[in-house]
Structure 1
Amino acid sequence: MTTIGIRPAVRDDIAAIVAMPADDALGATREIPDDLTPYWSACERLQSDPNRLLVVADRDGEVVGTLQLTIVPGLSRKGSTRSIIEGVRIHSSERGRGLGAQLIEWAVDESRRQGCQLVQLASDSARTDAHRSYGRLGFTGSRVGFKSHL
């Protein structure tokens, strides 16, 4: 039996992290894993910010999942701190086996440890299977999000 560990991502994990979204229909249109330079730069920025955590799920030395957790102090909700879970990716060989739930539960526990009063989860509207899983984990759809590409 193999075990899954969740740990901070390092530069050597970037190729595996980028390959995960590139192997699904939605991510394949956004990620270009043949040039890792911009991803390495982003990883360095994430690692230098104590309010941002990029973690990987590691099974016997192989990266099989990832997510980003951002801690956001704010004035709303009586000055509460919230966290945002995003960039949840699971290797295609691991999907449907509970790894996503394990990563989300880790992020919720870490959010509590960081003093957050609210956890938000960002997910593409097309990922309906993931949305059902998030509902089973206690998340409810509560917002309509907007974005503008710069």
Structure 2
Amino acid sequence: MPGYKGHLAGGTFVGGMAATGAVMFGLLHMNPLLIAALMGFCLMGALFPDTDTESKGQNLFYLIFAAVDLGLILKKYYIWAAWLGFLAMLPPIGSHRGWTHTWWAMLVVPLPIILIPAILFNPPDMMPFYQFYAAFTVGYFSHLLLDGEFR
């Protein structure tokens, strides 16, 4: 099983291939800032399944979580910060290679990326949220694939 560096490399490869394909098929515009943000979500997805155990991947994931949460608090987005804090507590509830290493978690875990904006703000264009959901899911898929969960 790869460590966090292997999962980051796998997430980078799969995310890069997905982004390239999305640009080639016209599903994503060649916007470097957007692609960088999507790759960030992809890498977060690639690390997420191992947040259920003490690891360097967990430490990196929660460092990013804490920075984003602090940014939300400083910007006075307290509802978003509370949701992020709540969601960050869920992985340690299970055992390692438990629920975080399942195909259904790959689809369910990133759902707040779509549901929270839709419920709280009802934006006229949901496409960016779908793109970020897809990026996180692609990264999550790369993790499960590298861990041999699809045999």
Q: Please give the TM-score of this superposition, normalised by the length of structure 1.
A: 0.32
Question: Higher helix fraction: Structure 1 or Structure 2?
Answer: 2
Q: Please give the TM-score of this superposition, normalised by the length of structure 2.
A: 0.31
Question: Higher strand fraction: Structure 1 or Structure 2?
Answer: 1
